[in-house]
A and B are shown apart, each in its own frame.
Chain A
Amino acid sequence: MSVLTTILWFLIAIGTLVVVHEFGHYLAARLAGVKVLRFSVGFGKPLLSRRFGRDRTEWVLSALPFGGYVKMLDEREGEVPAAEAHRSFNRATVWRRFGIVAAGPIANFLLAIVFYWALFLHGLPAMKPMIGEPPAGTPAAQAGLAAGDEIRRVNGNETQSFQDLRLNLLRAGVAGDALVLELANGHSVRLDAAPMQTENLEQDVLRPLGIVHYDPEIEPVIDKVVPDGAAARAGLRAGDRVIAANGTSMANWQDLVRSVRQHPAKPLRIEYERQGQRGVLTVVPDAVEEAGERVGKIGAGPKIDESTLAMLMTEVRYGPIDALWRGAVKTWDMSLFTLEMMGRMVMGQVSWKNLSGPLTIADYAGQSAALGWISFVGFLALVSVSLGVLNLLPIPLLDGGHLMYYVAEVFTGRPVSERTMEIGSRIGMILLLLLMSFALFNDLQRLIGG
């Protein structure tokens, strides 16, 4: 994926989410009778500007594409003609102001629900929650789980796909709950797991539990060869059946992967069969860094036949009402999960390394778009939820900060003083700056490697 397409998808993603967020504010303001002067996507210098609508609202596309704003009539920001004073934001009741400010994040949640609803209606291909042979000594092995077991529920929560399984195990693990798994065959087992390592959630957190993907035996026949990869350079081709590596016979693809991984930048003598003819050649696997380990890769993929794939895959699909409900539940779950993770970062239980910023989002935007529109829509829904949650945090300058002031106003009966707000926005500025600095630091570190 080139840098330019990544930027393009990032702009599409951010643009959609910002427009929806600001449109939430806009609609609520209209409903509350507050006059909207300007609707801007982006900050800074206006690039394009058109006036239309009942109030001659100015619709603007601005230079800096990292957000947007809705500017409302407000007596604290400038002269307001007496005839229009009743339509200014500061004159609206506290409930109306609360509604206008809350409408932005709410619009983001609604968008996520709509997107998830569409995805559940359409049907999502997913890996079955079927596990592979648990490594000896792991909690899963001790509990008697075996290859091919399908896990249907974790602590009572339904797991339709491997992703569901992962999410539920992660949530229960981070919370330190005991794990009760219900299997498709009606049995139910209990895992005695140590508290989960939360230093880096991007690494495989399920491995210590002994929960691994079901890995059907695949024939050691090469189907795809990456151009310029080690396999291609050595002369291996699609259709070649690998018979042995360094004299050890290869019964299946997994055997081959194992020996290749153990030989980063070290020669591997491959015996193979091509159209009935036997041959021998030497491959030097490329050395690759993977989760802190140096492993070998040759840039070749196996042939996986349709029936194997069909056995592994399932489609998650629901009817309109059910899908809507599930979309809402999923949005709610993701919001809580996001909030929980943020809370744990503040408490120091989860590393700040998990915080990602615009570059990682851009990277994921590009990657998910390359995988097709289903994954892109799923990605948009996820980021929309994060945006909604982030904006609700009680930090001055964010929507949540304003809501915090309005709550205070409801209790004290008068607006929070200008001075308090000024101090608040300074603190908020510093907090946001620190947060963004952290996120950007992590992003860049992922790029250039630390």
Chain B
Amino acid sequence: MTPLFRRVLTAALLLAVFVPAVLWAPAWLWAILMAGLIGMAAYEWARLSRFPPLSARAYAVLLTLCALALPQVLGADWPGYQTALILLAAVFWLLVAPLWLLGRWHAAHPFVRAVVGVAVLLPTWAALLYLHARGPGVLLGVMAIVWIADTAAYFAGRHFGRHKLAPVISPGKTWEGVAGALVAVALYAAVLSAVVGMPLLSLLIMVSGLLYLSVLGDLFESWIKRLSGMKDSGNMLPGHGGVLDRIDALTSTLPIATGLLMWLERSA
């Protein structure tokens, strides 16, 4: 099997599981599936942070249980905590992560990494539940931004890529790729504006902001991988590396998109 074929096959299989799950899974099943995903990502995060195998497993199990238990234990308080998790992610991605990359911090202490793992993964989980509850279309609509950006960046980068975006962090990314992604998500925003009837200008601003976040999420994971000397976060997905490699851009975009949605719903 050629690598490309393996990559495409894995992607097809993933979509074949993921799309029906988004469309038809009841809330409880969706919650379990996503908790599993978050758990796998947590394991990879712990390994990237050089936790010994056993502690990495314990961390992953703990985070998964935490994710599953939170809505049950909190009950009526859950929506409030969901908001708090989203705010935590917003602070992390708008303030801490950019400084982290600009300052080329290592922050290798296991305690710091354990906390950051929570700040990256639990809000993603909260966002996945929130967006799914708003309807499969909403969730897919937001995720599509990241997918479209990824794909466009890949092709634009391959054809026009010349100026490196952040050679120290991730040698593969170029400004041309970002520009291609920007054009693609702008087109997507135009389509979205026609479908949901929101003003194009505000959609463009939001979508560009989310594009920035998706690049940031991508770069952040790349930097962590670079620090640990690993190329992929894991090998669970043949041709794609690990789970974290697939969802890195989602960990930054989904929570903030959820925050935006909360804000829109509140000011409506």
Contacts and interface: CB of A to CB of B under 8 A. Distances in A.
Interface of A: 3, 44, 433, 436-437, 440-441, 444-445, 447-450
B84 A450 contact: yes
A89 B120 CA distance: 42
Which A-B residue pairs are the 9 nearest by beta carbons? A448-B262, A448-B263, A437-B91, A440-B91, A444-B90, A441-B91, A444-B87, A450-B83, A449-B266
Contacts of A433: 95-96, 99
Contacts of A3: 202, 205
B91 A450 contact: no
Contacts of A445: 83, 87
Contacts of A448: 83, 86-87, 259, 262-263, 266
Given A3-B202, A440-B94, A444-B91, 7 more contacts: A44-B102, A437-B96, A440-B91, A441-B88, A448-B263, A450-B80, A450-B87
A437 B90 CA distance: 9
A447 B91 contact: no
Majority SS at the chain A contact face:
helix
Contacts of A447: 263, 266
Question: Chain B contact residues: over half helix, strand or loop, or mixed?
Answer: helix
A392 to B, nearest CB: 23
Contacts of B84: 450
Of B86, B95, B96, B259, most A-chain CB atoms within 10 Å: B95
Interface string B189-226: 00000000000001001000000000000000000000
A436 B91 CA distance: 9
B87 A436 contact: no
B248 to A, nearest CB: 22
A448 B261 CA distance: 9
A441 B87 contact: yes
Contacts of B266: 447-449
Contacts of A449: 83, 262, 266
Contact of B259 (A44, A436, A437, A444): A444
Interface in B159-204: 202
Nearest to A445: B87
A308 to B, nearest CB: 34
Interface in B28-71: none
A433 B112 CA distance: 14
A143 to B, nearest CB: 41
A266 B262 CA distance: 26
Contacts of B202: 3
A436 B88 CA distance: 12
Contacts of B88: 441
A240 B147 CA distance: 56
Nearest to A449: B266
Contacts of B259: 444, 448
Task: Among A444, A445, A447, find the residue whose CB has the most chain B CB atoms closer than 10 A.
Answer: A444
Contacts of A44: 102
A262 to B, nearest CB: 24
Contacts of A441: 87-88, 90-91
A70 B259 CA distance: 37
A448 B256 CA distance: 11
9 contacts: A437-B91, A440-B90, A440-B94, A441-B87, A444-B87, A444-B90, A444-B259, A445-B87, A448-B83
